[in-house]
Amino acid sequence: MGLIRVVGIGISAAIVLSALSEAVAQTAPLAQNEVAVAVDSGFVGNRTARRGVVYSTVVRVPDATWIRLTFDQIVLGSAPDTAKETILRITSVADGAVQTLNTVSLAQWHNTSAYFNGEAVIVALFADPTAEPSRVAIRRVLAGPPGQGGVATICGPTDDRERSADPRAARALPVGCTAWIIGDAGNCLLTAGHCSGGSLEVVQFNVPLSDGGGDIQHPGPEDQYAVDITSKQSVSGGVGNDWGHFGCFPNTETGLTPVEAQGDFFLLADAPPSRPGQTIRITGYGVDGSPPQWNQIQQTSIGPYVDVTGTTIEYQVDTRGGSSGSPVIDEKTGEAIGIHTNGGCDVIRGANRGTAINHAGLQNALADPQGVCLPAPPLGFVFPDGLPEMLHPAGDSIRVEVIGQNDGVPQRATGVLHFDLGDGFISVPMDEVEPNIYDALFPAVKCTTVVNYFFSAETTRGEVVTNPLLAPTMHHTALSAVSLNASFTDNFQDDLGWTVQNVGGLTDGQWQRGVPAGGGDRGDPPFDADGSGQCYVTDNADGNSDVDDGTTILTSPVIDAAGGSAIISYWRWFSNTRGNAPFQDVFVVEVSDDAGSTWVTLETVGPTGPEVDGGWFFKQFHVAEFVEPTDQFRVRFLASDTDPQSIVEAGVDGVKLVLIGCPVTPGDLDGDGAVGIIDLLILLSAWGPCADPPEPCPADLDGDGAVGIFDLLTLLANWG
């Protein structure tokens, strides 16, 4: 019989199995303590003439083997006259490892840091003299206790694993699994499905030896990568139906992706061998106590390939807790034939098991990558003046530059603007002012109109690329207005007066404000929507965060919506797909114009549809389409769990009410308060250049010094 080698991370603590029990998934969750600290810089600025440290402190947890920071509040002030950002720098006292975080990378790391060895780190803010004040506040840290160990599941009398240094295999934390780089379009990673939940946050390469007590040591931040949660696709359905696909953001220190830094990836077989006779290798980060320095470092072992049944593969290869997610490698071809998921050499079947690489769900995920796993397009779109929040009702423009990337070359004169004013997208060629530099011209649009839009261009090979990449499903949005004034904005970092009411016999799951604590494994939000840290979620508790036996209502304070056309917007999360009775409950949003005496439904989410399985969705509505925009406006969010019982999770973040400023109606040239035939005749009689030197030219609605087609379109857009 041939041999099969598996590279992976070993299993967790003691496993009790009867002779007929299912083999256990081989994770090794990272032992950690949550420790309260009191760090708050307050708002600090640079009063010197040079860029430098504006705040520094030491965060220490005595006797900790490692530390990971979680930021309760972090504000990095911008400097308007320099390109240098304010940064947060964290340095390990034990080994000098450094991580540098800015606004973008903090959002990618979800307001946490990398793992640092030792019991203390130095936290410092660096800012320019002109930068706005910054602040860092830390209320808790995660710390590694001493004495972590594990128990083996070995195929035979001895543990035959050896130290290895495969650059493609990573340690996945804090879940305690293995992940590995593959050669798909985005060079993303595979692991086990039961490793891919909310607790998969960081992957580490080039892992050092553990210390003499078996306590794991972390590589420097330059070898640690934050997982993009939006890229995760996985199924944890038991043996043979257990896989996960995900990607990581570029490293904060090097700017490199895992494959760029490690320089290698696994090739995937089309299918596992149909008969035994191969040598299999498994490489990963299993627990170990002999010697203790080998605990959860990379080790490898080989053994015989036993069988394949459906999408379950079997092999007699030594693994230990933490090996879940390891590549199952055909030693002869070097290709990965599956994902290691379960121990089993100590039960009746006498083999460890995994999910075959040709699993249909896994293949679908590889063909339809998400998040950072999406392949980089051959064209990029640059907006030198940014993308606006509003477009002028009389017509507006956006400067667009199309650049080649990833061997793509832009074809001149192929830039197109696609805009939707409410009746579907209209495609209009953009005005090419220089080679591959365009002005996207928007027509006159009635004030308060929500304008959805995206851009496209072609390569010299005829490939059409859009921005956003997933357009028209995803698109940019702007409001037709001359001014936008926020009457109310709340990202829930402070208490602005929201109230919670529970009705219908609710027993658990009321709305709570805070940093999401559930981890996302029950359909709850693993992080907030706008990156500020806190939001409102139902029953913010790890492992039991859903609504039970009633309705919980989150109601805003009274908001002033008078004085203009008002837009209410928010991010919402809703999941009703888990439990014994999925797709039964709804999430309701209501508004009031009399401080809550009466309510009108703004939207109802569910019980079925594309937005009932979690995920943050941004929504905005014209208040006047539902209630009178008064100074007694309120909005409320109702999450319910009715019979039959199921798991209902909800979240709300980033609530904003904006008053839209509109001009005097363009085109009302005779001043009668309406645009009609007389106004049209006045405009046509003034057609052509305005008088020179300039004289009053009321028909010049777009201000270009002449009365022409855009002025006519503006008048017609405001007809009535």
Q: What is the DSSP string of 489-547?
A: EE-SSS--S-EEEEESS--B--EEEES--STTTTS--SS-SSSSS-EEEES--TT--SB
Paired sense of beta strands 200-204 and 587-592, if any: unpaired
Query: What pLDDT sits at residue 445?
Result: 83
Q: Give 347's pLDDT tier (boundaries 50, 70, 90).
A: low
Highest-pLDDT range among 472-486, 525-539, 582-596: 582-596
φ, ψ (nearest 5 deg) of residue 45: -135, 170
Q: Does domain 47-143 have CATH number 2.60.120?
A: yes
Beta carbons within 10 angstroms of residue 719's beta carbon: 13
Q: Give 6's pLDDT tier (boundaries 50, 70, 90).
A: very low
Q: Does domain 4-29+150-371 have CATH number 3.40.50.2300?
A: no
Q: Give 692's pLDDT tier (boundaries 50, 70, 90).
A: low
Beta bridge partners of 268: 336
Tell me the domain boundaries of the chain: 4-29+150-371, 47-143, 379-478, 488-661, 677-717
CA distances from 564 to 366, 396, 538, 622, 660 (A): 49, 22, 34, 11, 6
Q: How far apart are CA 414 and CA 720, in angstroms?
A: 37
pLDDT, the chain, mean: 87
Question: What string of H, E and C letters represents the secondary structure of 531-561?
Answer: CCCCEEEECCCCCCCCEECEEEEEECCCECC
Q: What CATH number labels 488-661?
A: 2.60.120.200
Beta bridge partners of 450: 479
- The stretch 432-449 carries a mean pLDDT of 91
Q: How far apart are CA 704 and CA 337, in angstroms?
A: 66
Strands, E, within 549-633: which ranges?
550-555, 565-578, 587-592, 600-605, 617-622
The answer to whether the beta carbons of residues 192 and 217 sit under 8 Å apart is no
Residues 6 or more apart from 589 whose CB is under 8 A from it? 570, 572, 601, 602, 603, 604, 605, 619, 635, 636, 637, 638
Q: Of 661, 679, 660, 688, whose CA–CA distance to 718 is shortest? A: 679
Q: Give 350's pLDDT tier (boundaries 50, 70, 90).
A: confident
Query: What pLDDT sits at residue 520?
Result: 66
pLDDT digits (tens, 9 = 90+) for 629-645: 999 999 999 999 887 78
Query: What pLDDT sits at residue 681?
Result: 87
Query: What pLDDT sits at residue 515?
Result: 86
Query: What pLDDT sits at residue 329?
Result: 97
Looking at per-residue pLDDT, the higher value among 226 and 407 belongs to: 226
Element (H, E) at 262: helix 258-262
Q: Give 149's pLDDT tier (boundaries 50, 70, 90).
A: very low
Domains 4-29+150-371 and 379-478 share a fold: no
Query: What pLDDT sits at residue 671?
Result: 52
pLDDT above 90 for 442: yes
pLDDT above 90 for 302: yes
- The stretch 214-234 carries a mean pLDDT of 93
Candidates 2.60.40.10, 3.10.180.10, 3.40.50.2300, 2.40.50.100; CATH matching 379-478: 2.60.40.10
Looking at per-residue pLDDT, the higher value among 147 and 570 belongs to: 570
Q: Give 83's pLDDT tier (boundaries 50, 70, 90).
A: low
Place of tokens 């080790």: 299
Q: Does the N-terminal peptide bond of residue 689 adopt cis geometry, omega within 30 degrees of 0?
A: no
Beta bridge partners of 688: 707
By CB neighbour count within 10 A (0-12 exposed, 13-18 middle, 19+ buried), where does 698 fall?
middle
pTM, two decimals, is 0.60
